[in-house]
A and B are shown apart, each in its own frame.
Chain A
Amino acid sequence: QSVLTQPPSVSGAPGQRVIIPCTGTSSNFGAGYDVHWYQQVPATPPKLLIYGTTNRPSGVPDRFSGSKSGTSASLAITGLQTEDEADYYCQSYDASLRGWVFGGGTKLTVL
């Protein structure tokens, strides 16, 4: 059971907008810690997609955006493309566990 909760899967058609939620607790998001998002294409390492809740590293398209409110965070992907099909993980710091924690991951299928 992951400290951060994500749905196992989401799907959308090309061009659509999808949201991947990530639910935390008062000891991570609720304590003010940022959320970070990673994209993992099969058989490759995770790639940082969003850092510090809302920031995109250089090279990440602006179709990807992140947000956080209270104990919940989300990743939004607009203009869905087939190349976006991957697993997405949220991650934060947990003060109660005194360590870094991940969500269980969400598989995005582009229909």
Chain B
Amino acid sequence: QVQLQESGPGLVKPSETLSLTCHVSGVSITNYYWSWIRQPPGKGLEWIGNVYHSGNANYNPSLKSRVTFSVDTGKKEVTLKMTSLTAADTAVYYCARVVAEGFDPWGQGTLVTVSS
């Protein structure tokens, strides 16, 4: 079955750049768009953006200036980079497969805390 596993640093200092990786298994990474979604502690879900293996991507307008995606088909990995982090970026970050404009499945998520 499709499995997604996020990984990242856990703790990042303000103003630094975050890099997260999502490893995809059980399906060809080239057949789907892949999404990043985040959830601040105790709050709702926020779509960050989607990316295809070709590099074609869609971004949340509110985050577009700080976010870039990449896909490594050989490693079966999708990467999110977010610059100029602040405390407001503290959240659980999920990757998910895009299916018919919805998201399924989701990874377990990785908590990113922005703090000095």
> Which A residues are within 8 Å of any B CB, using their own CB?
2, 33-34, 36, 38, 44-48, 51-52, 57, 89, 91-93, 97-105
Contact = CB atoms under 8 A, between A and B. Distances in A.
Nearest to A103: B44
Interface string B8-47: 0000000000000000000000000001000000001111
A58 to B, nearest CB: 11
B101 to A, nearest CB: 5
A91 B102 contact: yes
A99 B102 contact: no
Enumerate the 3 nearest inter-chain pairs by beta-carbon distance, A residue then B residue, closest first.
Answer: A36-B102, A48-B104, A45-B106
Interface of B: 35, 44-47, 49-50, 58-61, 94, 99-109
Nearest to A97: B61
A110 to B, nearest CB: 21
Most buried by A among B94, B102, B107: B102
Contacts of B58: 98-100
A97 B61 CA distance: 7
Contacts of A99: 47, 49, 58-61
A36 B61 contact: no
A98 B60 CA distance: 8
A2 B101 CA distance: 18
A105 B106 contact: no
B101 A45 contact: no
A57 B50 CA distance: 22
A13 B59 CA distance: 41
Contacts of A98: 58, 61
Given A34-B100, A57-B104, A89 B109 contact: no
B45 A46 contact: yes
